[in-house]
Amino acid sequence: MNIILLDDANFITDRMAVIEDQAVIRHLQSVLKAQTGDVLKLGKLGNRIGQGKVIELSHRHAVLSDITLTASPPNKLNLTLILALPRPKVLRRLIMDMTAMGVDHIVLINSYRTDKSYWSSPLLSRLDEFVLEGLQQGVDTMPPKITLAKRFKPFVQDDLPSLIGDGGAIVAHPYAKDRFGQLIEQRLPQVLVVGAEGGFIPYEIELLGSVGVQPASLGDRILRTEAAVNALLGRWLP
């Protein structure tokens, strides 16, 4: 937690706020060792970044005053990342990482190798929580847009072309002839597609190709979804 994030409900006035979230209170006391008079880095969700002074801190709540929010959050990556819904235990880490790295739009899609039970996982109802953790890690206040697309073919044919526009799109595919590094020499695409463990089946790669998505590999090594996403996103970081 590299920044304390507040929302409208926390604010008593424009310059004073109360925190009652026990996870944040524990972080203030146990990790930051905050005391009365300390100045903390703050952000308001959907707004700016700044600081505030601790004027009261107990195991029940913290009161902050002299809040100023003057800095803009970091710029988002010009990227829509389309990800085949992964295993639930991987989902949390991926949402956090993609948010922390500044992905602007995250689309979770179905695929042949996505287990149908994943769509009924209770973790899908906690996406906002994982996004918040990612924002706190990445010192950001602007959450990404998240879209759930449970039907692969209609999404690819009806929705994906408008997301691509004239910005280009690449699908990570371990058996592609082209290398990712070669395809991005001229410019970075604004849409990146990543499959679940095992990748996309040939039919899915063909359907993606029909709307202009180019397959590319990261090399001879076959990576887990988490490793592939983080390796790919590193190319977009300034």
Query: 68: burial class by Cβ within 10 Å (0-12, 13-18, 19+)?
Result: middle
Q: Are 194 and 84 in contact (CB under 8 A)?
A: yes
The pLDDT of residue 218 is 87
Closest CA to 44 of 111, 127, 142: 142
Closest CA to 172 of 210, 216, 211, 206: 216
Question: Domains of the chain: which residue ranges?
Answer: 4-71, 77-233
CATH 3.30.413.10 describes domain 4-71:
no
The pLDDT of residue 130 is 97
Rounded to 10 deg, the angle between the 88-100 and 127-138 helix axes is 40
Query: 95: burial class by Cβ within 10 Å (0-12, 13-18, 19+)?
Result: buried
Per DSSP, the three-state class of 17 is strand
Q: Mean pLDDT for each 10-residue chunk of the chain (238 residues)?
A: 95 97 95 95 97 96 97 96 94 96 97 94 95 97 97 97 94 88 88 91 96 90 88 90
The pLDDT of residue 220 is 79
Q: What is the reported pTM?
A: 0.93
Burial code (b: 16+ CB inside 10 Å, e: under 16) for 28-67 equals: beeeeebeeeeebebbbbebebbbbbbeebeeeebbbeeb
Residue 18, φ and ψ in degrees, nearest 5? -120, 135
Q: Which CATH architecture has domain 77-233?
A: 3-Layer(aba) Sandwich (3.40)
Closest CA to 147 of 189, 191, 113: 191
The pLDDT of residue 71 is 98
